[in-house]
Chains A and B, each alone.
Chain A
Amino acid sequence: MDLPISGAVIVPVPGREDEVERNLRNLPGVEVKGRGTRGIAVVMEGRSTKELKKLSEEIEKWEDVVDFQLVYLNVEDEVE
């Protein structure tokens, strides 16, 4: 089975960083890797690409999020 995984940087509205980080930490499948000047780095995992896409689209829609920058999108191998 495919295990899709992606890395992204989420840029919060200035002053809303803590709230966005808290919300990200509450999302299943999202791991917060750290916070830098560019934004909050996350790794997201899903059981399917559809699930991962939904997750990305949801975060993109948050009012406190200015930008959602996808850095990579991979999929762990099925046995090849």
Chain B
Amino acid sequence: MRALGFVGTPCQVQGLRKLQALGRLLGRRLVERVELVVGLFCMGNWSYPCMAGFLEARGVAPEEVARMRISGDRVRVSARGMELEFPLGEMRKYVKMACRMCLDFTSELADISAGSTGSPEGWTTLIVRTPRGEEVLHGAEEAGLLELMEVGEAGVEELQRVARAKFERSLRRIQSRVEQGDEVPHHATRDLGSLEEALSRTEGRGFRELWRDIVVSGLCDACGACSAACSELEMRNGMPRLRGRCPQDCSLCYAACTRTALPLRALEEQLELGELRREHLGRYRRILAARATRGGGQDGGAVTALLKFSLNSGVVDEVVLTCRDEELKPRVLTAKREEELEGCAGTVYAASSPLPELRHRVRLST
């Protein structure tokens, strides 16, 4: 059976962890042998038509974009050999509704989390959470792929400030929805002690209810966990769609979705997370800055360097990740070679749905 690596946003990492926990609970093979999970920091994301529309309205064709980055309150775009800058506020209004109610900034359930916040430009902040995260970080440094540096208390405080700001903003929106009589189950189930308890709330609900309670309600983050759990579903435009038949007595997709129930504390218990804990940063072993010694990346290129080490050293045989296509659309790819990883370096500011591909790789390798 091949060992898999995965890179994703916090919601995608949550989807993966819930599928793993669900698989264990039901005694079903859903996404086993995922040996390394790299989570990104994430303040929000866009559906592709909105991101592309934003650029087009400013005279930039998505296919012309060489590089795009968000830095502070500016969106920086390199296109046609020019550097363009727009206020982030103009793009922020197109952020997916689900992101407005998302409480995780730093991928609290990853083996190792990565983002730019907290580090100087050209470096990646890494939150090392599990022994596996520690192992690949150490290995990548030993192999000369990564250079490390302390972020210091100021860097950690900056990270915590940003994570808290996201949490509090999302919480305000969640509370206002709850006051209007709406349910926001991923918030209501956060502190439940077990997955079983969380799942008891999803019993008897199938795809019809998933569509109504999560997708049309604006809670769907496009992770694709539902489609990974059921082959009758496919992801279209970042939303699950039924393509086959749906028996009356089934509720697997509803159970798999992180937005119908997310017992965060119980999911944490299933991982070997470090003993340090800071509010809104989750549990971890250490926080530091890293930069790749060769090759590029969005920030310090540390994610790609960690993946290269993991692939070359046999920690994983392949990695499921998100790349961009020529039109800047997110494309999920399974990388088996270093060059493929390098081709996926950089951030795509549009939501992908990688979990069905991850499930597919698991199926192929067993």
In the assembled complex, the Cα of A4 lies from the Cα of B325 at a distance in Å of 29
CB <8 Å contact, A49 and B217 = yes
B215 close to chain A: CB less than 8 A: yes
CB <8 Å contact, A71 and B217 = no
Number of A interface residues at 8 Å Cβ cutoff, please give it.
22
Whether A49 contacts B49 in the complex (CB less than 8 A), given A70-B239, A74-B96, A77-B92, comes out as no
Whether A72 contacts B96 in the complex (CB less than 8 A), given A2-B173, A7-B49, A53-B216, comes out as yes
Number of B interface residues at 8 Å Cβ cutoff, please give it.
28
In the assembled complex, the Cα of A65 lies from the Cα of B236 at a distance in Å of 18
Which residues of A lie under 8 Å from residue B65 when comparing CB positions? none
Which residues of A lie under 8 Å from residue B182 when comparing CB positions? 49-50
> Min CB distance, A15 to chain B, in Å?
24
In the assembled complex, the Cα of A31 lies from the Cα of B111 at a distance in Å of 45
Residues of B89-126 at the interface with A, using a CB-CB cut-off of 8 Å, are 92-98, 100
CB <8 Å contact, B237 and A75 = no
CB <8 Å contact, B237 and A71 = yes
Which residues of A lie under 8 Å from residue B216 when comparing CB positions? 53, 56-57, 70, 73
Residues of chain A whose beta carbon lies under 8 Å from any beta carbon of chain B: 2, 4, 6-7, 48-50, 52-53, 56-57, 69-78, 80
- Selected A-B contacts with CB under 8 Å, 14 pairs: A2-B176, A4-B218, A48-B180, A49-B217, A52-B218, A69-B239, A70-B237, A72-B94, A72-B237, A73-B98, A74-B97, A75-B97, A75-B173, A75-B218
Given contacts A69-B241, A74-B93, 13 further A-B contacts (CB under 8 A): A2-B176, A4-B97, A50-B181, A53-B212, A69-B236, A71-B237, A72-B47, A72-B94, A73-B97, A74-B50, A75-B173, A77-B92, A78-B173
Residues of chain B whose beta carbon lies under 8 Å from any beta carbon of chain A: 47, 49-50, 92-98, 100, 169, 173, 176-177, 180-182, 212, 215-218, 220, 236-237, 239, 241
